[in-house]
Amino acid sequence: MEPSPPSPVVPTGRDRFWWIIRSGWRGRCPRCGEGRMFASWLKVVPRCDHCGLDYRFAAPDDGPAFFSLCIIALPLTAFVVWLQVAFEPPAWVHLVTSVPVMTLGTLLPLRPIKGWLVASQYVNRAQEAGTRGLWSDLHGTSGESDFDQ
């Protein structure tokens, strides 16, 4: 199926933040809001199946894990330590409660966080400083912005 031409759906101003949050949470293309962003749990598709956006720009790297650990794991760890100090439960209680809560609490948010980071990279045209020429040479885009595909 031939991808339809890109439609500039990305809002401007204050609505940009909510566009990033919505498209990242739903795992939808940050350009059209319709196509899938993910091929599997955390694997980004190579190209949007609706508008044809090439996801080669997407490089969230370790960002999702970092934010998951800092925002979620640290408070959960504090809770588990408080539980131990306050009630001194046996080890099996932590095995049954704390381990699953920590595991699910850090793994479940990875996909929305990665979606937010990819959408934010697209909406804000984020790329490493001074790499536009190198990126264009590497991917044969002849100097045009990779975000304006």
Query: How far is C-alpha 62 from the geometric centre of its chain's CA atoms?
Result: 10
pTM here? 0.81
Residue 37 gets which letter from DSSP?
Answer: S
Local confidence pLDDT in tens for the 149 residues of the chain = 555 555 557 788 889 999 999 999 999 999 999 999 999 999 999 999 999 999 988 889 899 999 999 999 999 999 999 999 999 999 999 999 999 999 999 999 999 999 999 999 999 888 766 666 766 776 676 655 545 55
Which residues, other chains included, contact 111 with Cβ-Cβ below 8 Å and sequence gap of 6+? 27, 38, 41, 42, 64
Rounded distance, CA 45 to CA 63, Å?
18
* Token pair recorded at residue 10: 């990305």
* Segment holding 44, helix H or strand E: none
Q: What is the pLDDT of residue 104?
A: 95
Residue 144 exposed, middle or buried by CB count within 10 Å (0-12, 13-18, 19+): exposed
Q: What is the pLDDT of residue 126?
A: 81
Rounded distance, CA 143 to CA 123, Å?
19
